[in-house]
Structure 1
Amino acid sequence: MSSPFIEQIKARRTIYALGDQVSHTPEQLTALIQDAIKHSPSSFNSQSSRAVILFGAQHHTLWDIVKAELKKIVPPEAYAQSEAKVDGSFRAGFGTVLFFEDTDVIKDLQQKFALYADNFPIWSEHATGIAQFAVWTTLAQEKIGASLQHY
Structure 2
Amino acid sequence: MKIFFLLSVFVRGQYAPTDFPDTTTGDSSDISCWHCDAVNMTECDNIGAMKPCLGENQVCMIEVRKREGELEQICMGCKSRRACLDNKKQNSKGKWKNHQCRPEAWWKRAPSVCRQCCNDSDNCARDFVLINDGVGPLLASEWNEDLII
Give TM class, smaller chain.
under 0.3
Higher helix share: 1
Higher strand share: 2
Q: State the structure with bigger RCO (CA 8 A, min sep 6), 1 or 2.
A: 1
Q: TM (normalized to structure 2)?
A: 0.21
Q: TM (normalized to structure 1)?
A: 0.21
